Structure 1
């Protein structure tokens, strides 16, 4: 059901932002181009600033600091990108599958914790339709992080495979984040509540730091329910359900770090973080049959561990040498309970009871180990000041699927089956990189890096029985990928208040195990493996202009991202013969298509109003705008391109630091039909015949055909207003509160609508569109928190 909308009035918005922000401005800024370490991660003003960087972060980076996470009460992935332009989430009902950035999404946007990449989502269009697996992308609870970096643009120099459109990196808390100035130890206790999903979060942590020993321990617990919708209606069963499926979740997260400075030259440490979560959903919108029901338990478990050694000698050439060993273990599983609701023929109604028929237990397991060695050298003079660094790593990733299904529970035909849908995969990796930051003069600096990765993807022996389509092809051959990536950046200081930056960087993504090796055959559809896939490649370019001074910040940038050998699940129409009948069926296979291209621009700024008008010190104006467009080389559109988004606001922080109030007015643009073209397989009649019984012509033969159509659900433009703030009654106590969607607007986000499945039994909508009511964003809601730190 396409929703029409008027044109967005962009000119007044853009003009007002430029008019207010065009003075050379930059009071406190995080726009830096020098080399910094993760420990130096700066905190930025709410809604973050853009940092154009050619150091270790070789992408346009938006940082959200620890205070901002707390003040805006950011609790989940959707909250994290609430005020970020040109960044979205991959929303698929029960599962969030990562981020959308620079026009691409999911596995094309990396997610990492302290530099360790989290596993890709292993899913295809077959299982996405039915919800029997858990294809979520993992993350880390924001209670345990000191900052988040949204790195926009190709970034495989730092991350390796996956960072085509960018990367989201979480930086975990250090001891000094919990310890007040002048003290050696600290304790943090925090509790919070969010009304949008009735979620409680409770966190406790402690830290110690002296000249030699540093330690931190954190624990956080979350418990809540389904996210509410601002939709209306009383239908609560099937795809026409107008209410979100009832759900209840809990998650336990932990963080531990300990480091010992043995002497001025040597330092060792151990880090560990992880989480264990469960989400139970009563999937009332399940749409197999009217009498069918399903409930699901989605589990996620992750453990990250790191052991490191640092050597910082008193040397004339070596600044630091660091060795790391990382170990990551993850499990994503879904247990689905299915059955029928008995029908009472005497009352002609369904009984208030459920009969359990099936239990599907499906799991993805990934283990990852990495050994790396990095060096930083002291600056040398050679036609400019060079600061060199190098890194080498070896890694191994093991992935497997295991399923345990029980069918016909309690019946004479009950079966119990343990199996897998594909061969286990072992990926071995070797990589080496070299980077040089060059200071040519006070006005000109450049930075360049090159990296080589060699990855071998090797199917292993089956860990359980596999289907006929899986075994018919035999054990697939291994494949090796050798890939170069890199970046080059240049900074020119035009004046004390203005500078410009140019950056070009590349990215790549190795196909996942499911894309290369998954196969399935059924009369209603076939999925064919493709072990000959090539890696995806990307090339990003950006040009930015930054103004900075005592009045605030202005950052304007334009960018272009080009994608080559884009991986795409292509549908072909083939003929199959089964049970003596020949019929058409769709055949799906992941292939490399030609290319895709994205163009866009971003504008962000912050103005200290007391420097330009008669206003109290601490009053600031914030504005940002993001817009992008592009498409595939086929006639289809890249649905992950975000509609235009504008955010403006007034902030006030008292000079004493005791209290602050922030506001954000967001304009969410509509998705246009011409930018939402999709491929669809339809049926048409090719042979009519007169039927004497019906007295009219009826169709005797049909055929399938492909066509390009407009996505069925397009969001309208909308505006939301949020107001939040903090108050410190004492030096140790902070109270925070916020009201979101203050005007109680009823709106859909594009991310929610594009995640609706056109076919299947989960996350679908009826033909009349009644089910769209449950996909509305939450109405007016609030969050509160109380923090005690001493």
Structure 2
């Protein structure tokens, strides 16, 4: 929980980032120092607290504009949102994007095992159904065919490059979706520099997580000279494959599905972010460059057995981004505030599998590339015409190029078979929106109608490497929504929105086809219809000196819901292991209730100043209305309860957090699949600033050493017996970090 939210004030933070790579022995020395520091007695902490009244020198300055007030505030006030800041992630010893929303019920991070993190699951929507924006640029699409050799995820960014993240859980006219939007915000120079004048900033940070023996180093540099500002954030991480409750897999050579420990190996990544911008009183124009790369090398014992032996994987994802952007505040007839950005991005996934297959040395190398050009603009204008109004409007045009290639080599014979899973192609997308926030009844009531138009077109380049000729696809849609708020009292507000959503089928859903002659087939469906949705979201929130609370109910009705992995029967005699395709489900629904609250225990009960409690819970259910079956993407009921302390000086604090997850019923698991039991987790974290420059953090996770499974990792799993243990989460583990600000 953000300290500023706990106490109702905006609090600066000095607990920053990075350090260059160092030997393992040095990391062990740092770890020992951190543990010693975290065990300092309370008297020492209080003495350090008396010397300094601030935790940091980080400025709260942000580029605040009418665009942010008119668009972002409206979105947040009319529906349920979730937000996390960089300082919270540091205090939680977060290591990867999987930790972003660890304590946010109803939001999961999807893990694809060997292939790493795939994306987010928000209220039961996952994969490409969730829009993931990184500083306004759409992240690469998920490409997840039903195959053990290729999978391209969407979370190619390091946490240390982020200043924060927010989630719009329901419809959002700005992104053309009745589903969900995750906004990831990159660090900027103004996050670290004073509001004005020449200034500089430098920090190094390093840490360790025991659940994957992961070491990380980060360095952050920022500076301002005159009107020029710059930022460099570089992060490196080296880890083993994540442990499970049984062990790390390094000394276990059990083969096949009965294996209990994880497949061992190394998972390394680095991220370099650079920004340069020129600022003035009413304008900011800048350049951005970013490179992210993650690689993993695993020994896949769990895949060995009847047909495979000596099975190894070598997987890499590389993402490059270059862009230019501008924010402009000007009193013109068309806008008070303008933001535009032009970005180029390329994401390349290479999955290589080496094995002995049916007695010969086989290497399978599969690639998926996506190259994106995106031009985006957002404008806003504030005026009074009968009533105060804030008009926001904007447009985006996006061009994506797709390519895939499979090379199946017989290394003994020196032969190679080449094919594509999908034809080369391009997608052109265009969207434009308009919304108007009306302030009524002296500001006690707001009403915001919004309308959006989207169009898309796929153009394909069939060649001899694809299994059949495909036609392109196109479509368009008008969507809209109506939202509003009503202040019952100065402390109580009603809110809600309703509207229509739209999503075009993805490249993967339309065109992936596999017919490798190995007993199964995946059949492309280029005739998929667009997904449509109708949604309603409403709730009540309250805020006072005691704290805050929010209760939200939501209901979304989907038409032509796109479901993948559907069993088909086209040529069963030639495909004994099954045929699968992607189809539209006539109707599906997702509905639920969410609650969150936080309480200042000092104000409520006269406890120690800085003591707080918080709670969040989510109940979600989803159904395929065609056959009454449950949607497997729906997470079980979950609640998070926290009790924490934040010293009034902001120099030290800690939190004990409990996560409670209900069991998955046989109906929700579709009867034949594994249904995890309920579980409870307890985590404890702490942080302390020693003087002006050094901050230490530490945490112990899964304190009770609970054995448990996360539903999103095992849904659809049919393994029985000891093999289920391989999918368990880590047992008791810890993390530590140290940050030094120069």
- State the TM-score bracket (shorter-chain normalisation): 0.7 to 0.9
What residue number does 2:556 align with?
A: 561
Higher mean C-alpha displacement, 721-730 vs 231-240: 231-240
Q: Distance in 2 between matches of 1:486 and 1:731?
A: 51
Q: Distance in 1 between matches of 2:6 and 2:246?
A: 43
Q: Please, which of 374, 380, 395 is the counterpart of residue 398 of structure 2?
A: 395
Q: Does 1:297 align with 2:314?
A: yes
Q: Please, which of 95, 98, 108 is the counterpart of residue 119 of structure 2?
A: 98
Shift of 1:170: 0.8
The two structures have a TM-score, normalised by structure 1, of 0.81
Shift of 1:278: 0.6
Contact 2:78 2:495 in 1 (8 A): no
Q: Distance in 1 between matches of 2:272 and 2:459?
A: 34
Alignment of 1:715-734 (within 5 A): 715-734=676-695
The structure-2 alpha-carbon separation of the partners of 1:443 and 1:231, relative to structure 1 and needing over 3 Å to count, comes to same
Q: Please, which of 654, 659, 662 is the counterpart of residue 652 of structure 2?
A: 659
Q: Distance in 2 between matches of 1:180 and 1:727?
A: 23
Secondary structure of the structure 1 residue equivalent to 2:667: helix
The alignment of Structure 1 onto Structure 2 pairs a total of residues equal to 675
Alignment of 1:196-595 (within 5 A): 196-209=211-224, 212-231=227-246, 236-261=254-279, 264-289=281-306, 292-315=309-332, 318-339=335-356, 357-377=361-381, 379-407=382-410, 409=411, 411=412, 413-440=413-440, 441-462=442-463, 465-466=464-465, 470-471=467-468, 474=469, 476-521=470-515, 522=517, 524-569=519-564, 570-575=566-571, 586-595=578-587
Higher mean C-alpha displacement, 221-230 vs 590-599: 590-599
Shift of 1:303: 1.3
The structure-2 alpha-carbon separation of the partners of 1:222 and 1:755, relative to structure 1 and needing over 3 Å to count, comes to farther
Secondary structure of the structure 1 residue equivalent to 2:602: helix
Q: Distance in 2 between matches of 1:480 and 1:499?
A: 42
Q: Distance in 2 between matches of 1:728 and 1:97?
A: 35
What residue number does 2:43 align with?
A: none
Shift of 1:495: 0.7
Shift of 1:94: 1.3
What residue number does 1:154 align with?
A: 171
Q: Distance in 1 between matches of 2:218 and 2:124?
A: 36
Q: Distance in 1 between matches of 2:82 and 2:408?
A: 44
The structure-2 alpha-carbon separation of the partners of 1:585 and 1:747, relative to structure 1 and needing over 3 Å to count, comes to closer
Q: Distance in 1 between matches of 2:480 and 2:632?
A: 28
Q: Does 1:676 align with 2:688?
A: no
Contact 1:53 1:61 in 2 (8 A): no
Higher mean C-alpha displacement, 244-253 vs 167-176: 167-176
Q: Does 1:740 align with 2:701?
A: yes
Alignment of 1:112-151 (within 5 A): 112-125=133-146, 127=147, 131-151=148-168
What residue number does 2:730 align with?
A: 778
Secondary structure of the structure 2 residue equivalent to 1:771: helix
Q: Distance in 2 between matches of 1:568 and 1:37?
A: 44
Alignment of 1:615-654 (within 5 A): 615-633=607-625, 634-654=627-647
Q: Does 1:603 align with 2:595?
A: yes
Shift of 1:574: 3.8
Q: Distance in 2 between matches of 1:775 and 1:576?
A: 31
Q: Distance in 2 between matches of 1:525 and 1:497?
A: 60
CA shift digits 1:69-113 (9 cap, x unpaired): 110111123322221111123223113321111222222122220
Secondary structure of the structure 1 residue equivalent to 2:133: strand
The structure-2 alpha-carbon separation of the partners of 1:487 and 1:134, relative to structure 1 and needing over 3 Å to count, comes to same
Contact 2:76 2:168 in 1 (8 A): no
Q: Distance in 1 between matches of 2:726 and 2:583?
A: 35
Contact 1:178 1:188 in 2 (8 A): no
The structure-2 alpha-carbon separation of the partners of 1:629 and 1:310, relative to structure 1 and needing over 3 Å to count, comes to closer
Contact 1:90 1:755 in 2 (8 A): no
Secondary structure of the structure 2 residue equivalent to 1:770: helix
Contact 1:196 1:781 in 2 (8 A): yes
Q: Distance in 1 between matches of 2:143 and 2:61?
A: 32
What residue number does 1:7 align with?
A: none
CA shift digits 1:598-626 (9 cap, x unpaired): 12111111100111213110000111111
Look at both structures and tell me which one has the larger radius of gyration over its CA atoms. Answer: 1
Shift of 1:714: 0.9
Q: Distance in 1 between matches of 2:79 and 2:305?
A: 45
What residue number does 1:172 align with?
A: 186
The gaps in structure 1 that reach 5 residues or longer are: 1-24, 31-35, 42-50, 342-354, 678-709, 759-764
Higher mean C-alpha displacement, 88-97 vs 654-663: 88-97
What residue number does 1:613 align with?
A: 605
Shift of 1:740: 0.4
CA shift digits 1:48-85 (9 cap, x unpaired): xxx99633897521000111011011112332222111
Q: Distance in 2 between matches of 1:231 and 1:29?
A: 44
Shift of 1:181: 7.2
Secondary structure of the structure 1 residue equivalent to 2:301: coil
Shift of 1:184: 1.3
Q: Distance in 1 between matches of 2:478 and 2:308?
A: 55
Q: Distance in 2 between matches of 1:755 and 1:121?
A: 19
Contact 2:202 2:221 in 1 (8 A): yes
Contact 2:97 2:155 in 1 (8 A): no
Q: Distance in 2 between matches of 1:192 and 1:259?
A: 31
The structure-2 alpha-carbon separation of the partners of 1:616 and 1:59, relative to structure 1 and needing over 3 Å to count, comes to same
The gaps in structure 2 that reach 5 residues or longer are: 11-59, 66-70
Q: Please, which of 132, 156, 163 is the counterpart of residue 111 of structure 1?
A: 132
Secondary structure of the structure 2 residue equivalent to 1:511: coil
Shift of 1:176: 2.6
Q: Distance in 1 between matches of 2:223 and 2:685?
A: 32
Contact 2:315 2:352 in 1 (8 A): yes
Contact 1:26 1:553 in 2 (8 A): no
